[in-house]
């Protein structure tokens, strides 16, 4: 089982290569983003890391809102294109034939062709090196109706989502399990009944959002999540000032790109 070391790099894969929309209905842009993720479940918070040189960075600074539009196999070409050409020179909506629609809670538009869109409002920007991290509250989620079943539950497997790994785009493979399946299996094999977890008792949605259509669009089922776990996540959010010790708030676009960064995004 020999292993070989490589220089520090950004090989956290796979990632969702998303199309983030910025600006407003009149002056909008699409930027492909690989450096994104979830910061917190409740409140629902996310981030996008954007180089100061991007046209989108300027638009984000003017209107600190964005929409994360999930991408699919059908949107692979558009995703790549939006990640190569700059909105300073080309209208990517027009060029790619994508439909710009109004978002519900933010001025930045949504891409109609995207199966699922997260509307985000920036609450802080941190500078970590080559990229500025726009951290945001997810204020609304919209989903194409054909992805909902009769009960309003999202069937994300119908979307044909795309992933990005080490410079390549992939479709998702077959489903190999669901959250908590290892604990359910454990029940079958466990002799000690106190160790065993029933499927019902599992914190089903802490790491997978249970989204249903209707009034309560994004609903976190917290039953089954221990008090300890909730308290822990709260502590992390409140520790913002502590985490800032090693980071610098970005005031102007003066970031110096770090040398030796592989896989530049």
Ligand X SMILES: Cc1cc2nc3c(=O)[nH]c(=O)nc-3n(C[C@H](O)[C@H](O)[C@H](O)COP(=O)(O)O)c2cc1C
Binding site for ligand X (CB under 6 A): 17, 29, 31-35, 49-51, 54-56, 80, 83-88, 131, 164, 265
Q: How many CA atoms lie within 13 A of 38 on its CB side?
A: 11
- For residue 21, the minimal CB distance to ligand X (Å) is 11
- 21 in Cβ contact with 69 (< 8 Å): yes
Nearer to ligand X, 64 or 203 (CB): 64
- Whether residue 214 contacts residue 152, with contact meaning beta carbons closer than 8 Å, is answered with yes
In whole angstroms, what is the distance from residue 199 CA to residue 181 CA?
A: 8
Closest listed residue to residue 68, CA positions, set 113, 104, 122, 110: 110
Residue 251 C-beta: closest distance to ligand X, Å: 19
**Shortest distance, position 174 Cβ to ligand X, whole Å:** 24
Shortest distance, CB of residue 82 to ligand X, whole angstroms? 6
- Cα–Cα dist 38/14, whole Å: 14
Which 3-state string (H, E, C) describes 161-189? EEEEECCEEEECCCCCCCCCHHHHHHHHH
- Are 156 and 147 in contact by the 8 Å Cβ rule? The answer is yes
Return the number of the residue (116 or 255) whose C-beta is nearest ligand X.
255
CB distance 55 to 25 below 8 Å: no
Which H or E run contains 237?
helix 227-238
Identify which of residues 146 and 264 has a Cβ nearer to ligand X in the complex.
Answer: 264
Which C-beta is closer to ligand X: that of 86 or that of 222? 86
Q: How far is the CB of 137 from ligand X (least distance, A)?
A: 19
The least distance separating ligand X from the CB of residue 48, rounded to whole angstroms, comes to 7
CB of 147 to ligand X, least distance (A): 23
Between 1 and 84, whose beta carbon lies closer to ligand X?
84
DSSP state of 153: B
Q: Judged by CB, which is closer to ligand X: 56, or 114?
A: 56
Distance of CA 202 to the CA centre of its chain: 24
Q: Which is nearer to ligand X, 85 or 170 (CB)?
A: 85
């Amino acid at each position: 089982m020999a292993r070989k070391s490589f220089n520090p790099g950004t090989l956290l894969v796979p990632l969702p290569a998303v199309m983030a929309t910025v600006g407003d209905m009149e002056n909008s842009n699409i930027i492909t983003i690989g450096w994104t993720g979830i910061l917190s479940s409740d409140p629902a918070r996310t981030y996008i890391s954007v180089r100061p040189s991007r046209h989108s960075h300027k638009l984000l600074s003017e209107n600190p809102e964005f929409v994360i539009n999930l991408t699919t196999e059908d949107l692979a070409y558009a995703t790549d294109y939006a990640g190569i050409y700059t909105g300073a020179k080309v209208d990517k909506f027009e060029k790619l034939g994508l439909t710009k629609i109004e978002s519900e809670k933010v001025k930045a538009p949504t891409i109609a062709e995207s199966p699922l869109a997260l509307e985000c409002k920036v609450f802080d920007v941190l500078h970590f090196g080559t990229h500025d991290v726009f951290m945001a509250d997810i204020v609304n989620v919209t989903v194409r109706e054909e992805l909902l079943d009769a009960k309003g539950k999202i069937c994300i497997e119908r979307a044909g989502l795309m992933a990005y790994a080490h410079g390549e785009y992939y479709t998702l493979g077959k489903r190999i399990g669901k959250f908590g399946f290892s604990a359910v299996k454990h029940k079958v094999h466990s002799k000690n009944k106190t160790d065993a977890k029933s499927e019902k008792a599992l914190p089903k949605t802490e790491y997978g959002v249970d989204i249903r259509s209707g009034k309560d669009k994004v609903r976190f089922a917290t039953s089954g999540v221990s008090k300890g776990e909730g308290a822990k996540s709260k502590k992390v959010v409140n520790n913002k000032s502590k985490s800032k010790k090693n980071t610098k708030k970005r005031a102007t676009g003066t970031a110096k790109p770090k040398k030796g960064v592989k896989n530049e995004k």
